[in-house]
Structure 1
Amino acid sequence: MLEPQTLRFLTQLKKNNNKPWFDANRKQYEAAKIDFQNFIQLVIDDLQRKDLTIAGLSARDCVFRINRDIRFSKDKTPYKTNFGASIKMGGRKSPFAGYYFHCEPGASFIGGGLWMPDNTSLKNMRQEIDYCWEEFGGILQEKKFKATYSDLYRGEGLSLSTNPKGYEKDNPAIDYLKLKSFIAETPVSNEELTQASLHKKTVAAFETLMPLLQFINRTLQQDV
């Protein structure tokens, strides 16, 4: 679980996203950061018993910085209004698919997968889905996956409007071959964030995602 103070800090940060306020409330930030890192470490410690690819990772390897990169952005607010952690082989900066936890009051979620891969990885993913459609489709149709995530996420800009080159419209996997990211997510309410059951819910959701990540990562490792 996360402490209510952590959510309050993020809520206030959203209203006061500027350096003077942040500096004046740095102690609250440090406490919230430690709270989030401690939660993520508990999740890693449990999850690595089943997923050996993340064995030895620490929360520090996985939690993102709160500072935004504003160099090429029209939005010049200096801080993210969430805490996020990408748990995967090699840590948050690695190119592999992984688990993701997003803590943001009113918009929190558990999920993971592969976000916007490069052209070579995307090509390999489409080829593997096409060649192994029965396996891939079976992962998405598995009972626990359907109950937790329903399907892969299809947000704005994450799918082609036309069929990718080399694939026909009658291909049974065409809806997934059009994707530019391969991720799944399930929402977490503010109430759930501060309940003791959050840890169990998160680990269970990540374990359900494991077969999808294994499929993606074996594909990515073919050219490594």
Structure 2
Amino acid sequence: MEHQVLTNDVLKFLKQLEKNNNRAWFDEKKAVFKAHEKSVKELYSSVLEGLRGTDEIEKLKMFRIYRDVRFSKDKTPYKSHFAGSFSRTGAKLRGGYYIRLKPGESFIAAGFWAPNKEDLLRIRKELELDAEEFRAVIGAPSFKKVWGAITGDELKTAPKGFDKEHKDIDLIRKKQFIFVRNLSDQEILAPDFVKKVTDSFVAVRPFFDLMSDILTTDLNGTSLLD
């Protein structure tokens, strides 16, 4: 099956939107925006189809172009990028995938953006007990070649109840567990974009498998799903 290919017109529109981020301009270009939004959704749907060949995906969510400016100093009404996320299915499959398209600033990401406090504590307790397998997975050469180093927000010091001198405190103090792969405009416009993204997301599965195992068991390895 042939995959949707993004056209440069989409990037041109986003550049114009960034320069003309106001309602009057956007309303005039509304039909053009809708056409580009449709093509991007088709592109993301192609990625979804590819992912479902290797993973269980519950849904694709396309994020709205409209910004929530209620609590922001930046009152521009529109985002100058397209973005979408893919949620894995069920309690046993953890983690999520993300794609952002923006001229010169496109990237794909995978991981855990906002783990709830119970999940975050469980992850930290696992790392406190033994982080060897975690480091082996994210440090594997084949993994790092695609995704590089782990990133995400972290505390400046140890979380409450954890030793700040622990040998794995660099991991324990993390609040997010995210991997990001930046993509050039040339890469996102290429015919193999969908394959490259799908292959990259498949490459993160060892990390998702490990994290899913951690988050569905207690520290003794007993399943929490039974």
TM-score if structure 2 supplies the norm length? 0.86
- Please state which structure has a larger fraction of its residues in helix: 1
Q: Go from structure 1 to structure 2 and tell me whether the alpha carbon gap of 1:172 and 1:103 turns closer, same or farther (over 3 Å shift).
A: same
1:75 aligns with 74
Q: State the AA in 2 paired with 1:189.
A: S
Structure 1 counterpart SS, 2:160? coil
Q: Which has the larger radius of gyration?
A: 2
| Equivalent-residue separation in structure 2 for 1:221 and 1:9 (angstroms) | 44
Q: Distance in 2 between matches of 1:127 and 1:200?
A: 36
Counterpart of 1:133 in structure 2 is: 131
Residues 9-158 of structure 1: pairs in structure 2 closer than 5 A: 9-52=13-56, 54=57, 57=59, 61-89=60-88, 97-154=95-152, 158=153
User: What is the CA distance between 1:74 and its match in structure 2?
Assistant: 1.5
Deviation at 1:123, TM superposition (A): 1.2
Stretches of structure 2 lacking an aligned partner (at least 5 in a row): 218-223
Distance 1:115 1:48 in 2: 22
Residue 199 of structure 1 aligns to a residue whose secondary structure is helix
Deviation at 1:90, TM superposition (A): 5.6
Aligned residue identity for 1:140: I
Equivalent residues of 1:111, 1:205 under 8 A apart: no
Distance in 2 (CA, whole Å) between partners of 1:132 and 1:47 is 31
Return 5+ residue gaps in structure 1 as ranges: none
Q: Which deviations, in whole Å up to 9, do the C-alpha atoms of 1:15-69 show, x marking residues without a partner?
A: 11111111101111111111111111111111111112x0x63xxx321111111
* Match status 1:194 vs 2:189: yes
**Counterparts of 1:98 and 1:22, CA distance in 2:** 31
* 1:111-147 Cα deviation digits (max 9, x unpaired): 1111132322221221233335122111101222111
Instruction: Measure how far apart 1:173 and its partner are.
Output: 2.3
Cα distance, 1:82 vs structure 2: 0.9
Q: Residue 24 and residue 217 in structure 1: after superposition, are their counterparts in 2 closer, same or farther (change >3 A)? A: farther
Aligned pair in 2 of structure 1 residues 218, 80: CA closer, same or farther (>3 Å)?
Answer: farther
Comparing 185-194 with 212-221, greater Cα deviation is found at 212-221
Tell me the distance in 1 between the aligned counterparts of 2:74 and 2:211. 33
TM-score by length of 1: 0.86
| Identity percentage of aligned residues | 34
Alpha-carbon deviation of 1:203?
0.7
How far is 1:192 from its partner? 0.9
